């Protein structure tokens, strides 16, 4: 069962700002999902062969045909922020700074 501290940790990882009521609501919902997944572990699947896809699929890849690339200007044209020809993104590891 997830604790409020674990929900707060998930909140930080997801970069969310939740109220105490939202934290409790999500704690309950996440616990419901985890409990359901634990129930699935109880199903005997020893006679079920492993499969990669539920439907028979063959060669879903397209032919590898070289095409013209985007220019650097085209690639950066919709970037919210760029610096010296590179995308600028907020840091995702190591804190808020």
Q: Which domains does the chain have, with CATH numbers?
A: 1-43 (1.10.20.60)
The pair of three-digit structure tokens given for residue 52, joined into one six-digit string:
């990669």
Arithmetic mean of pLDDT over the chain: 90
Q: Do 18 and 11 form a contact (C-beta atoms < 8 A)?
A: yes
pTM of the model: 0.49
Question: Taking the alpha carbons of 73, 76, 81, 82 in that order, is the dihedral positive or negative?
Answer: negative
Interval 11-39: pLDDT, tens: 999 999 999 999 999 999 999 999 999 99
Alpha-carbon distance of 79 to 77, in angstroms, equals 6
Q: Which residues pair with residue 87 across a beta bridge?
A: 82
């Amino acid at each position: 069962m997830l604790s409020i501290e674990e929900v707060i940790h998930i909140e930080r990882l997801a970069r969310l700002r939740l109220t105490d009521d939202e934290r409790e609501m999500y704690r309950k919902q996440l616990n419901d999902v985890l409990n359901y997944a634990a129930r699935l572990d109880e199903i005997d699947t020893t006679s079920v062969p492993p499969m990669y896809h539920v439907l028979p699929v063959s060669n879903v890849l397209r032919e590898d045909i070289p095409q013209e690339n985007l220019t650097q200007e085209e690639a950066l044209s919709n970037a919210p922020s760029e610096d010296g020809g590179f995308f600028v993104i907020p840091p995702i590891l190591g804190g808020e700074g």
